[in-house]
Structure 1
């Protein structure tokens, strides 16, 4: 019997050796549900001293590992798995991963700029995957955020989209693309549309930090940080060349959208290339049939025989003068010469056509339409981003990343009063250079640090002129900003992650930022009492928070500070903020500082119900607010031929924002679930006399509920979106003066009505390469306008999309 067992053992050993020789050390990683290969899976040992990434076929060579070494397989969309090498070979060289069933299983990189488990992060993060983006089929990057159901977006025109997060928006929110801040020195306090320069077809995934992020991201990250990570090239990791790509088309009925996209990549063993092209053409937007008549477009201005004329709109549901087109180009090149170094070059270019500012074109003065023209010139954005990463295992770092970027922003404003031949033009260009040096170091299994340095330089070019549209004659006019103004930021930061035990993690951080501003004012057109302005100021910010995982709970808490330094828009602009008001420069500005707290609970009940709740509170001190001002003792000046009230940005207020966020996921079985989200924001601005008024950028209560069915090839979603009303009493004073944006209550005062829509969308996998998406939005054809928006939302809208993957 013993002899027989020995023979059997020898036979097993010979079989194992033969099996290893036959199959080699190359293994394949697959999805357990559909048996598909999974590329870009991180494969590493316990101390991360060895590792690699699976290629496009899900394969990787594991000969670098010893037989008893534990190997972890980790992917952003799957739950991680760990096996010894011997166990893997016994499984016939195949590893199967399971899709994440919980938000807590996900990996995020926004909070520290390095990979972290979401369950160890104290801040609330909204993660939007590539699959989520493809399924929601957004027209722009602003729509990408809005369709998540967790972020409110305002629009002044079709070519727009200004996110609002926890009572903050515009230059109090930071936008980052592949680790590079997009915010520049002329990001304004009014609604902005720079986010539409980001191509949603080229976004791999998005992470949004809800709440302050100044420790890692510096100035502007007061209310949140929106991180967009674009698609990267794939490498073959062997001598075989791999090819990949996508071709997509989309059509929507509400604005006769015609969009085409293609991306193509090929990978060698050490080199990877990816090219992306998107083009969209949008016609004038159609609103819904059922709703407030206030929003209709009964007439519009057009040129007839060289004269402005008001003509009747044949279909008042069509919002005349809203259409535009846009092109996006991107090129990524990656080089991985060995297991230590990685180089990545990203080139991005975006350009729109002229696009009308619709909320100005619907303004009346003395009973007649005010403007003959009001449009933004082409919005152009170029970014060259070169990133170097190096793995180490030394005293100072385990990983280091050096990011150098150059950006060029171009925009213009073009406006002409009705029946006036003079077109007033303001053109702006910004050159932005930035360098970031970021380190990651694990000192012990419990202690990890992230630290780094940052330098940002912006130079503003601004020009103004008047053009006679009949003769073409051009004359000088005031520029919007002081030409040649510069803005610089220098910073150092450090963050510590301390895992007290497997269920309790503390994360804290500290940053020092120094800001330099230098401007020279032109007094040709305005007799400013100053000729230059400079700022030399600094700010400390810090945060501390914890994540605790008792049983099926996650409890998080975080407190921190944030700041926004004045930029060129705050200090130096001259513009008409609204009819009858002009904003003038104010060189005497200091940074505004935020103090915030957040508390969150997530609870898993059984295996089918997830519940989450977050409460937040922020105080913004020395808030930079537009208020009445005087110039040389004058409270009114002549601007563009109109006597206007003088205003300026001032450190003149204290702001309070607070609220709650709720959500749940209820799974009935593997195919069916219900999800819901509800956000309740509130905000107030304290006046000089101690009274409080509603805050401008606080959205109404908004939420959604989805009923989702999904099998291997079909996904179907019926959902409702909801916004509460904002009464006249709860409108910010600055919004009350914009009656043309709002409906009218029974007392004749402007207010934002509540609304809800019923919608349906689906995705069907025709084959492994062809996918069809179809959505029917606003099924009841409701006519509504989201809060503070100048354009009415789309009516019933059929969206069709087709994607081919090769």
Structure 2
């Protein structure tokens, strides 16, 4: 008997010794993945993972290629030798189409996408890595669903459903990026977000004011950065990535490194990126008026207009940028999570290219010798505490406290003027959010919370004599020391009326306070301060209905608002040649009323068609219009007699459009993806005059033919933008003939254009991958609508990535 027991015991030891157990985990959550197929090249050896993601791979030889395949995850391959080095753990990443199933943006908690009546576009990290974008503005543009305007190379101002700038809301890891000086003109703050660190981007189309408050009129862009990853073993683990990117159109050189340090209860993620962009080269085939024929240099204490030896090179447009991210995560148990994120971004000085190509009054030279932004800086500290588990009033609670610091400056000097005018703006922004989730009231999922935001603006103006270096005080752009704050509460509900019918509704009330004191040193203001207290009630109601399993219909009605900020009430700046904008303390919020309808049809998982239509009505619109200052329609500003304008509640707008999308899967390797967006809009002033909406983008579309296998992926695609004729240009755009082509009558217009492009990515090994892209193959010379800088000509992009 003892011999039998000894034999069985010895046999178990031998079996355990010869067995090799591995575990397959979700790369984001660290949870085990069940039903992962594990097999060799000819599938003569197969096994499958259990509920914990574990499987025995002892049947495979040491250097035999082993494949791991799951319907929801990207296929992965490796060898047992490599598995040993990685602690016998494999991390799989979700397929892009699976990432679309859950969204965070609508309630700040995870929700099933099928239950959401709003249109949401999701861009995952794998898609971003494949497109290999220069900036986060290019991340949005590459989706084919968002139009992006660029005044200069260091730019990127998204347009969504006829709205832009301070009527769209930016959010990073749940914290709003919009601050008290976000302007109605084009803004570049999205480039502060490092595309290498983005885990997922969600774009909400249409008002999102119930959850996000002021500014979320046209849409919300949420950027979620990568989280630190725990070890799930008894030992400390280290992993990371390095990347390099080169682009020929502007001699771009980008380097990136990140690494993750993980333990069972804590983890750290560190990321650093450096971008060096040279002057951008435009294409060869297009309007001659886009060429950069001459530019200004400083020589022997004189401004000299010199001939550009290469008119296709946009001099000066280059700049450089650094991005740093440090995140810590502590998880003492399954119920509590503590997250700390430190974000920093800084650019060098970079030219505002559209101002540098403005002709002077006589038309024989350039108006400006210098016009550049000083370093654009952004810092954020974001601390978040999340508790899961059953509470008396909630099943989940999340506290988010964040501090942000913004700095930017504008520096301009006219041709042959020895005085450089500089304005410097700094904003300190504090925000606190408390969000609750409750799913346990029958079929009702309830979300509610509160938010407080405080902004303080610092603004100074200076004039520098560039010959004597004498520095004197000048008028600031904004009232120094002004504050903007808001307190709000919201509630949102998701009700499962039937298994195939979901209702989503919500309400929010926001109270806003604006306080600014005006300095009369340079202007005799007819007021001393602006003290605005206003409130707004916004709501939404919508439904998601599946009359058939393969057919979805959505209908949504919502309201949005934008409260006047410091930029609206207190800005002083030259908006265009010969005009100056002055403060106006008598402003009220603008309101948007929106309805949209969507349809999605799935044909046997082979073809998916998507369509949406929307209509938005904006009242009490905050727009820049002619004004009087102390009874005068013209005043002297920076030595020039200028027409007086101000931001006013002086218009209403109608914006409407259609959005179409198609996904077709020919077989396992070949697919087709296409998008088409048509937007139109009218701004109508209180006096009855109307014009085209400035931020209604031209018709734009893309079409992709994609081929991929386990190691290689290629995308041949076409981008298209439609024409905007002179009569359909906004009045403010008709006056910018120096950035547009001329029609047969000599009037400015935005021509149509197209580009043919090819992207490819090769997974050389599990650790090493490379990408080669060829953009604008036919070398078109084009300028996207309302943009100052001309787009790149033929552009070769090479990327190399290594993970360890």
* Alignment deviations for residues 707-731 of structure 1 (CA, whole Å, 9 cap, x no partner): 0001000000000000000000000
Q: What residue is the counterpart of 1:271 in the other structure?
A: 266
Aligned-residue RMSD, C-alpha: 2.5
Task: Give the 3-state SS of the residue equivalent to 2:534 in structure 1.
Answer: strand
* Alignment deviations for residues 210-266 of structure 1 (CA, whole Å, 9 cap, x no partner): 111000000000000000011111001331211111100000000000000000111
2:225 corresponds, among 226, 230, 244, to 230
Q: What residue is the counterpart of 1:54 in the other structure?
A: none
1:692, CA displacement in angstroms?
2.8
1:286 is the counterpart of 2:281: yes
Q: How far apart are the structure 2 equivalents of 1:22 and 1:434?
A: 56
Q: How far apart are the structure 2 equivalents of 1:758 and 1:473?
A: 52
Q: 1:292 to 1:656 in 2, by over 3 A?
A: same
* Alignment deviations for residues 665-711 of structure 1 (CA, whole Å, 9 cap, x no partner): 11110110111000001111112233431010111000000000010
Q: What residue is the counterpart of 1:332 in the other structure?
A: 327
1:188 corresponds, among 183, 192, 207, to 183
Q: 1:161 to 1:753 in 2, by over 3 A?
A: same
Q: What residue is the counterpart of 2:147 in the other structure?
A: 152
Q: How far apart are the structure 1 equivalents of 2:517 and 2:276?
A: 40
Q: How far apart are the structure 1 equivalents of 2:309 and 2:606?
A: 53
Q: What residue is the counterpart of 2:454 in the other structure?
A: 457
1:127 is the counterpart of 2:122: yes
Are 1:424 and 1:467, in contact at CA under 8 Å, matched by a contact in 2?
Answer: yes
Task: Give the 3-state SS of the residue equivalent to 2:540 in structure 1.
Answer: strand
1:42, CA displacement in angstroms?
5.2
Q: 1:61 to 1:44 in 2, by over 3 A?
A: closer
Give me the TM-score of the superposition, normalised by structure 1.
Answer: 0.90
2:250 corresponds, among 255, 258, 263, to 255
Q: Kindly report structure 1 stretches of 4+ aligned residues shifted beyond 3 Å.
A: 17-24, 26-30, 41-45, 58-63, 75-79, 93-105
Task: Give the 3-state SS of the residue equivalent to 2:477 in structure 1.
Answer: coil
Q: What residue is the counterpart of 1:782 in the other structure?
A: 780
1:652 is the counterpart of 2:647: no
* Alignment deviations for residues 343-365 of structure 1 (CA, whole Å, 9 cap, x no partner): 00000000000000000000111
Are 1:400 and 1:440, in contact at CA under 8 Å, matched by a contact in 2?
Answer: yes
1:180-579 alignment to 2 at 5 Å?
A: 180-365=175-360, 366-367=362-363, 368-444=365-441, 446-549=443-546, 550-579=548-577
Q: What residue is the counterpart of 1:48 in the other structure?
A: none
Q: How far apart are the structure 1 equivalents of 2:90 and 2:768?
A: 26
1:94, CA displacement in angstroms?
12
Q: How far apart are the structure 1 equivalents of 2:562 and 2:784?
A: 27
1:104, CA displacement in angstroms?
8.9
* Alignment deviations for residues 553-599 of structure 1 (CA, whole Å, 9 cap, x no partner): 11111101100000000000000000000000000000000000010
| Matched pairs, number | 749
Q: How far apart are the structure 2 equivalents of 1:98 and 1:639?
A: 57
Q: How far apart are the structure 2 equivalents of 1:397 and 1:23?
A: 49
Q: How far apart are the structure 2 equivalents of 1:171 and 1:433?
A: 18
Give me the TM-score of the superposition, normalised by structure 2.
Answer: 0.90
Q: How far apart are the structure 2 equivalents of 1:386 and 1:479?
A: 34
Q: How far apart are the structure 1 equivalents of 2:197 and 2:168?
A: 22
Q: How far apart are the structure 2 equivalents of 1:98 and 1:751?
A: 46
Q: How far apart are the structure 1 equivalents of 2:178 and 2:96?
A: 35
Larger deviation, residues 661-670 vs 682-691: 682-691
1:672 is the counterpart of 2:667: no
Are 2:99 and 2:124, in contact at CA under 8 Å, matched by a contact in 1?
Answer: no
Are 2:611 and 2:658, in contact at CA under 8 Å, matched by a contact in 1?
Answer: yes
Q: 1:266 to 1:742 in 2, by over 3 A?
A: same
Are 2:24 and 2:33, in contact at CA under 8 Å, matched by a contact in 1?
Answer: no
Q: What residue is the counterpart of 1:6 in the other structure?
A: none
Q: 1:420 to 1:331 in 2, by over 3 A?
A: same
2:29 corresponds, among 20, 40, 48, to 40
Q: 1:20 to 1:683 in 2, by over 3 A?
A: farther
Q: 1:400 to 1:589 in 2, by over 3 A?
A: same
Q: What residue is the counterpart of 1:28 in the other structure?
A: 23
* Alignment deviations for residues 589-628 of structure 1 (CA, whole Å, 9 cap, x no partner): 0000000001000100122000000001100110000000
Q: 1:659 to 1:23 in 2, by over 3 A?
A: farther
Task: Give the 3-state SS of the residue equivalent to 1:195 in structure 2.
Answer: helix
1:575-590 alignment to 2 at 5 Å?
A: 575-590=573-588
Q: How far apart are the structure 1 equivalents of 2:426 and 2:516?
A: 15
Q: How far apart are the structure 1 equivalents of 2:284 and 2:513?
A: 52
* Alignment deviations for residues 358-412 of structure 1 (CA, whole Å, 9 cap, x no partner): 0000011122111111000000000000000011202211111100000000000
1:339, CA displacement in angstroms?
1.4
Q: How far apart are the structure 2 equivalents of 1:287 and 1:246?
A: 33
Q: How far apart are the structure 1 equivalents of 2:329 and 2:160?
A: 34
Q: What residue is the counterpart of 2:633 in the other structure?
A: 635
1:760-779 alignment to 2 at 5 Å?
A: 760-779=758-777
Are 1:707 and 1:719, in contact at CA under 8 Å, matched by a contact in 2?
Answer: yes
Task: Give the 3-state SS of the residue equivalent to 1:378 in structure 2.
Answer: coil
Q: How far apart are the structure 2 equivalents of 1:793 and 1:615?
A: 30
Are 1:76 and 1:106, in contact at CA under 8 Å, matched by a contact in 2?
Answer: no
1:499, CA displacement in angstroms?
1.0
Q: How far apart are the structure 2 equivalents of 1:616 and 1:246?
A: 42
Q: How far apart are the structure 2 equivalents of 1:76 and 1:629?
A: 62
Q: What residue is the counterpart of 1:792 in the other structure?
A: 790
Are 2:350 and 2:373, in contact at CA under 8 Å, matched by a contact in 1?
Answer: yes
1:43, CA displacement in angstroms?
7.0
* Alignment deviations for residues 119-144 of structure 1 (CA, whole Å, 9 cap, x no partner): 11111111000000000011011011
Q: 1:43 to 1:548 in 2, by over 3 A?
A: farther
Runs of 5+ consecutive residues of structure 1 not aligned to the other structure: 1-13, 31-36, 46-57, 64-74, 80-92
Are 1:705 and 1:720, in contact at CA under 8 Å, matched by a contact in 2?
Answer: yes
Q: How far apart are the structure 2 equivalents of 1:44 and 1:768?
A: 20
Are 2:33 and 2:51, in contact at CA under 8 Å, matched by a contact in 1?
Answer: no
Are 1:27 and 1:59, in contact at CA under 8 Å, matched by a contact in 2?
Answer: no
Q: How far apart are the structure 1 equivalents of 2:451 and 2:620?
A: 25
Q: What residue is the counterpart of 2:736 in the other structure?
A: 738
Are 2:372 and 2:412, in contact at CA under 8 Å, matched by a contact in 1?
Answer: yes
Q: How far apart are the structure 2 equivalents of 1:148 and 1:59?
A: 37
Task: Give the 3-state SS of the residue equivalent to 1:782 in structure 2.
Answer: coil
Q: What residue is the counterpart of 1:88 in the other structure?
A: none
Are 1:100 and 1:106, in contact at CA under 8 Å, matched by a contact in 2?
Answer: no
Task: Give the 3-state SS of the residue equivalent to 1:331 in structure 2.
Answer: strand
Task: Give the 3-state SS of the residue equivalent to 1:443 in structure 2.
Answer: strand
* Alignment deviations for residues 62-120 of structure 1 (CA, whole Å, 9 cap, x no partner): 99xxxxxxxxxxx99659xxxxxxxxxxxxx9999996585796211011101111111
Q: How far apart are the structure 2 equivalents of 1:101 and 1:288?
A: 33
1:170, CA displacement in angstroms?
0.1
Are 1:27 and 1:60, in contact at CA under 8 Å, matched by a contact in 2?
Answer: no
